[in-house]
Amino acid sequence: MKISINFSDQIDLPIRSPLDDEPLAHDDGKVVSVTIKSSQSKEYQTAKNAILNKRLRKKGKKDIMSAEEIDTGTSIMLAAVTVSYNNFEGVDFGVGEMIVKDCVDHYDEPKLRWFRDQIEEGVAANELFMQKASTKRGKE
C-alpha cells in the first residue's frame, strides 16, 4: 500500500463580516474568500524570510524598527502570499474596488484592518497547524 501525504500550496480563507463574524456570502451561496499561499509553499517561505532578514539587519543598528515599519512589513508579506480575491464582485468594503494587485494597499488601509486581521489569523493558524503536525512526529 502506498501512502501519500501531499499538502496544498494554497489555502482559501473565508472572509467573515466585521459586524457579526458570519462568513460573507452572496445570495447564491458563493462565499467571499481570499486564496493565499500556505506555509508549505516556497513563495510563503521567501516572503517570510525577506521580512525577517530586514528586521534582523536593522537589529544591529542603533535605531530600532518603528511600529509603522513592522506594520508595513506585515502588509508586504501578506500581499506577497495573496493569490486571489474570490467572489468580491458586488461587495462594498467602503474603499472602492478590491483588486488583488492592490492588496498591499488594502492590508495597510485602516478601514480594512478587520480584513487584514482575518488574513493574518489564517496565515498564523496554517503555520501553527504545520508546526504542531511536525512536532507530533517525535512524540509517538
pLDDT in tens, 30-86: 999 999 888 778 888 888 888 777 777 765 556 677 777 778 888 888 888 888 888
Backbone angles phi, psi at 37, to 5 degrees: -70, 135
Q: What is the pTM of this model?
A: 0.73
**CA 124 vs CA 78, 120, 129, 131: distances in Å:** 11, 6, 8, 10
- Cα 119 to Cα 125: distance, rounded to the nearest angstrom: 10
CA atoms within 13 A on the CB side of 122: 22
pLDDT bin (cut points 50, 70, 90) of residue 129 is low
* Residue 130 and residue 39 in contact, taking contact as beta carbons nearer than 8 Å: yes
Which of 10-24, 56-70, 95-109 is most confident?
A: 10-24
- pLDDT of 14 reads 93
Contacts of residue 99, Cβ cutoff 8 Å, sequence gap at least 6: 85
**Does position 140 have pLDDT exceeding 80, yes or no?**
no
Enumerate the domain spans of the chain: 10-15+33-132
The whole-chain average pLDDT of the chain stands at 79
Cα(53)–Cα(36) distance, rounded to whole angstroms? 22
Structure confidence at residue 77 (pLDDT): 83
Q: What pLDDT sits at residue 136? A: 52
Residue 67, number of CB atoms within 10 A of its CB: 7
Q: What angle do CA 135, 130, 101 make, to 5 degrees?
A: 155
pLDDT at residue 28 above 90?
yes
Output the pLDDT for position 117: 92
